[in-house]
């Protein structure tokens, strides 16, 4: 069975159409990335999937269950990291997690295990209101994975974090992926999507305008096909990647002139730009 299935999902807020005809399937164990600029409808889609908002049209299923009818035992299988953090600022990191250990009826030992997994072992007794932004985000993640959910919804889990914290979160997520957790991730960060995701969808003005494996999409929209050669005198040569240019490149190598050589790495940012004329960060 697939972890997630969306059938013709549409969502309006009053007159405003926010999502149109969204169809999607996410297999168990897959990391799926929903990419799109601010206001594209990413959070709205997660809210529909997790039963926090009703769709205007269509149906959403989580492990085969209609998302409008998710019950406690279904939520036992789901973890969420959303903007509305749900962290109690006055409670320590430990006590924040303890609340959820009680709700999920799991062993208290798990608290320290998860805190150290997200690198907050030393902050165990710190009130969460005193944590830095990156630390708080890791506490939210700790809470989301505490009950070992089969499915994780992560709404921009690394947005605004420093590269080191971001990397540690990526490593943790890759571990969870290896263990078979299904992950639904939204992000503005193309590198993050390329690194983590089996499949991605590009959401633009409420429509999925492209879907596929990150590397496939990059290849599909790679129109540049240029090779850049950095030469010792500081010059940069840009040559089309065709057999006719092989001799020229060989010559430069023989003369010992080459500092470095780069192919035009197609990236998801370029794919999005080609499709929408907009950059993702805008
Ligand atoms: N409760 C609501 N009532 C009215 N409009 C809403 C509501 N929630 C979201 N919207 C609108 O729906 C659109 C999509 O919002 P959404 O939060 O899903 O975007 P997003 O892709 O998550 O953006 P971001 O990257 O900034 O988080 C926006 O135009 C937003 O103003
Ligand atoms: Mg959002």
Q: Tell me the residues surrounding ligand 2 (ion) with CB < 5 Å.
A: 42-43
Read off the pLDDT of residues 255-266 as tens digits, 9 standing for 90 and up. 999 999 887 766
Report pLDDT for 174: 94
Nearest to 242 by CA among 264, 260, 220, 258: 264
Beta bridge partners of 79: 152
Q: Where are the domains of the chain?
A: 4-219, 225-265
pLDDT one-digit tens code per residue, 24-33: 999 999 999 9
Closest residue (by CA) to atom 30 of ligand 1?
39
Instruction: Fill in the DSSP letter of residue 159.
Output: T
pLDDT at 267 over 80: no
Give the CATH class of 4-219. Answer: alpha beta
Q: Whose CA is nearest to atom 7 of ligand 1?
A: 13
Helix (H) or strand (E) holding 114: helix 109-117
pLDDT, tens only, 105-144: 899 999 999 999 999 999 999 999 999 988 999 999 999 9
């Amino acid at each position: 069975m697939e972890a997630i299935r969306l059938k013709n999902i549409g969502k309006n807020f009053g007159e405003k159409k926010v999502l149109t005809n969204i169809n999607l399937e996410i297999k168990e164990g897959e990391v799926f990335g929903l990419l799109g600029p601010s206001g594209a409808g990413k959070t709205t889609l997660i809210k529909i999937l997790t039963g926090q908002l009703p769709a205007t049209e269509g149906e959403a299923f989580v492990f085969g269950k209609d998302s409008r009818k998710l019950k406690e035992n279904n939520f036992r299988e789901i973890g969420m990291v959303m903007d509305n953090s749900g962290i109690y600022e006055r409670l320590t990191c430990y006590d924040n997690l303890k609340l959820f250990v009680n709700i999920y009826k799991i062993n208290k030992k798990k608290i320290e295990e998860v805190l150290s997994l997200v690198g907050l072992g030393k902050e165990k007794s710190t009130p969460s209101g005193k944590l830095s932004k990156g630390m708080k985000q890791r506490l939210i993640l700790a809470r989301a994975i505490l009950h070992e959910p089969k499915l994780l919804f992560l709404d921009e889990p690394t947005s605004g974090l420093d590269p080191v914290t971001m990397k540690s979160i990526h490593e943790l997520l890759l571990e969870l992926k290896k263990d078979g957790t299904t992950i639904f991730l939204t992000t503005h960060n193309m590198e993050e999507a390329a690194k983590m995701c089996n499949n991605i969808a590009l959401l633009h003005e409420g429509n999925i305008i492209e879907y596929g494996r990150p590397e496939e999409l990059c290849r599909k929209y790679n129109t540049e096909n240029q090779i850049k050669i950095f030469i010792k005198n500081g010059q940069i040569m840009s040559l089309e990647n065709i057999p006719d240019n092989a001799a020229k490149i060989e010559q430069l190598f023989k003369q010992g002139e080459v500092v470095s050589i780069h192919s035009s790495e197609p990236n998801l940012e370029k794919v999005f730009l080609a499709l929408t004329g907009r950059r993702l960060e805008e």
